Amino acid sequence: MQSYKPHDYQEYATNFILSHPACGLLLDMGLGKTVITLTALWSLLLDYFEVGRVLIIAPLRVARDTWPKEIAKWEHLNGLTYSVVVGSEKERREALAKPAFIYIVNRENVCWLIENGYFRFDCVVIDELSSFKSHQSKRFKALRKARPTVKRVIGLTGSPTPNGLIDLWAQINLLDMGERFGRFIGGFRDRYFMPDKRNRDVIFSYKPREGAEEAIYEKISDICVSMKAADHLNMPELIISNVEVEMSEKEKQMYDGLKADLIIPLEGGDIDAQSAVGLSNKLHQMANGAVYDENGKVRRIHDRKLDAVEDLIEAANGKPVMIAYWFKHDRERLIERFGAVPIDKSEDITKWNKGEIPVAIIHPASAGHGLNLQEGGCHLIWFGLTWSLELYQQCNARLWRQGQKHTVTIQHVITKGTIDEDVLLALECKEVTQEALLQAVKARILDGKE
């Protein structure tokens, strides 16, 4: 367990939750929204005794993995019991029957929870509040119906208006039950918007009236706080964090088998590591989710990192994200999964800096000195790390450089119990040499043969 030493903005955000029964935290990626919220929940549950049963609603993988890991990670959260309400109906019922302070459910099961009479909570946390932006969605309607029974609501999101200000009505309605923008979206639309694209009587979209944006933000300024560099002078210029994923038992067995025997026999071509350097390379590939066999064919092992990246892209709420990859099959899978655009040519750089590429991918070796990408975004995700400290620092410096107007967030997606941990440690200790690589692989081989 780790000791929690909050930044000034984290203390501010926690206190904001404590002093506002209904609040929205608009936090940029990587600012620690989970630990900020859990710190407040600990006080509300175990110090002030203001609430007794908390429901956290989150995307499936975040509900299943991120929130439980954060609770277990920090010393100061000791005593905060939880139950994860996911899986089959039987598993969900059992999870709800388990005594706990916090119940964590994926957003797809919100309707089931409410319609079946299991909604008995006095505090609700909505992780990725923007996923409730549609006033026509079943999950919004169900939660809106249950909202009057709740004493406290905390909404968390990176950007509440990914598709425009019209998205705010449903989200704020879940916080204040219509106090600021009215009980019906029609009144909100009429007050702050005017028809934009239309075909006679059919209106396809709306645009804000003059001064509407300022008026809307002024309306919610008392219950919402935005955590951005411009708002808090003590915000660090660079925030680096790790996102852990974990292989299944079968996937880990394959990984450990190669680590121990330097070979995995497969029909159509073995995965063969003929040297320590070759083993390092193969293990690195497997940690990323795919590996080349002896015939050069790509063998898929898992999608753990791709799933994690999907969650990070969603958390960015439409803001541009750049992903650093290392192997060719990483590039191909990222393009296939997310429609990611490689930053290869000068026109790609121009499009990125204009904000026209939502998900970009870049190879560290091509992100050399003088490549200015800071205009297009401030979020960098390392899908696959490199042993080269120089390439690592150069790639980071494409976004974290003079002229960047926003706090830069760098996130490493790390597969637990693999060579990823050795690479990250070597980068942190600046021991990025061939010797460090060989020593790390040697230790892994010995571990596998014990």
Average of per-residue pLDDT values in the chain = 84
Alpha carbons 340 and 306: distance in angstroms, whole number: 12
121: left (phi over 0), alpha (psi -120 to 50) or beta: beta
Beta bridge partners of residue 273, listed in sequence order: none
Q: Please state which of the four CATH numbers 3.40.50.150, 3.40.50.300, 3.20.190.10, 3.40.50.10810 is assigned to the domain occupying 8-227.
A: 3.40.50.10810
Q: How is residue 423 written in tokens?
A: 């690479």
Model pLDDT for residues 381-417, shown as the tens digit of each residue: 999 999 887 788 878 878 876 567 788 899 999 999 9
Short-list 118, 127, 101, CA closest to 44: 101
Helix 33-42 × helix 8-19 angle, to 10° = 50
Question: How many residues appear in the chain?
Answer: 450
Contact criterion met (CB below 8 Å) for 139 and 92 = no
**Buried/exposed code over 104-125 (b: 16+ C-beta within 10 A; e: otherwise):** bbbbebbbebbeeebbebebbb
Q: What is the pLDDT of residues 1-23, one digit of tens each?
A: 899 999 888 898 999 999 999 99
Q: Quick one: pLDDT band at residue 375, thresholds 50, 70, 90?
A: confident
What stretch(es) of the chain map to CATH 3.40.50.300?
A: 238-244+302-449
**Mind listing the pLDDT tens digit for each residue in 124-174?**
999 989 889 999 999 999 999 999 999 999 999 876 775 678 888 999 999
* Alpha-carbon span 34 to 79, nearest angstrom: 17
pTM, entire model: 0.63
Please check whether residue 410 is in contact with residue 240, taking contact to mean a CB–CB distance below 8 angstroms: yes
CA atoms of 80 and 89, how far apart (whole Å): 25
> What does the DSSP assignment read for 199-267?
ETTEE--EEEPTTHHHHHHHHHTTTEEEE-TTT-TTS-SEEEEEEEE---HHHHHHHHHHHHHSEE--T
Residue 260 has pLDDT above 90, yes or no: no
Per residue in 298-353, pLDDT (tens digit) is 888 899 999 999 999 999 988 999 999 999 999 999 999 999 999 887 788 889 98
Instruction: Name the band, by pLDDT with cuts 50, 70 and 90, for residue 87.
Output: very high
The pLDDT, as a whole number, for residue 435 is: 38
Burial category of 288 from C-beta neighbours within 10 Å (exposed 0-12, middle 13-18, buried 19 and up): buried
For the 238-244+302-449 domain, the top CATH level (class) is alpha beta
